[in-house]
Amino acid sequence: MSVTIMQDGNPFGTHRVLAPQGVLPQPADKLDNDFSRIWDNEILIDVDYLNIDSASFTQIRAEQGDDDGRIIRRIEEIVSTRGKMHNPVTGSGGMLIGRIASIGEKLRKSCPLKTGDAIVSLVSLSLTPLHIDRILQLNKETDQLKIEGQAVLFANSLYAGLPDDMPATLALAVLDVCGAPAQAARLVKTGNTVVIIGAGGKSGLLCAWEARRRVGDSGKIIGIEYSEAAARQLQALDLCHEVIRLDAQNALQCYETISALTSGLLADIVINCVNIPNTELSSIMMCRDQGLVYFFSMATSFTKAALGAEGIGKDIDMLIGNGYTKGHAELALNILRQSPAIRQLYERLYT
């Protein structure tokens, strides 16, 4: 296939926006995913795997009745319609890994990678032009798909080379949530009481490890899980001082439990890592006045969080889960390098 090289692409990728005009790629309804033409400031990738955002995959799986064929067709439909993997319900995407097919002339000097190198995107699929030729395999337990397809990254897109000390699917699983433990490392202080909702999940485990390192002997980590199996698995890792089974959609029960456990003081920091909706008020109610709630979950509703806090008169800070923090990729990968127990668990789940 002959490729036309286009000049002077926008560094933020607006040259790929088809509708509506004037917006950036993430909020756009549709992107141009025709890769017979490539701009001189793009990186063209032959994609091997997609890691669908957990909230997005959970929503699609529930919508399609947990049927493999229907899940695959729905993902193909979203990408075909929108030119990107941007779930219209959750608004989230995921990440990809592949190999560099071409590097635009304007990026060759600044790009640390070269044609043929393995690459992982550190920006959301919800803003990444993507074309799927074929979905080869679906793994519902890891939210990952093996595909044949292509994608492009823009001049301002974040990416990294794949580490050579772990399998690609394992690295992808970790890097998909690397913003969470990096934020936990920034936020948690000595002596804090930290509640982590979904502490046994992919992002929750990494947050728990980082938080445990920072609270010291005077602090406390409380991990919340819904299922008995997840709670038992989390308890075995010894990352949390307390592991509790709670329904994070039951705000009053969460509040009463954490209030009793902390003698009414509640948590200094609440980190929300779950992939289901309607957990905003539980997070808010478990947090003390002038404490902080970090919503890493892409199932979070800003409206429910803001108006819910107002409705119960809760004076707290709320942080949106920005997927980017400086040094986030290496920090997350180093957790697996430093914790054999977490790495073993991740290897069992994601390889």
Give me the average pLDDT of each 10-residue run along the chain (351 residues): 83 97 96 95 97 94 97 98 97 96 93 95 96 97 96 94 92 92 96 98 96 97 96 95 98 98 98 95 98 93 95 96 85 96 92 79
What is the predicted pLDDT for the residue at 349? Answer: 86
The DSSP secondary-structure symbol of 83 reads S
Residue-level pLDDT at 52: 96
Helices (H), ranges, 312-350: 328-338, 340-350
Q: What pLDDT, on a 0 to 100 scale, did the predictor assign at position 171?
A: 93
Per-residue pLDDT, 3: 76
Q: How far apart are CA 89 and CA 80, in angstroms?
A: 16
Q: What is the CATH number of domain 179-350?
A: 3.40.50.720
Which residue, 2, 27, 31, is CA-closest to 15? 31
- pTM for this structure? 0.89
Q: Coil, strand or helix: which one is 237?
A: helix
Report domain extents, the chain.
Answer: 4-162, 179-350
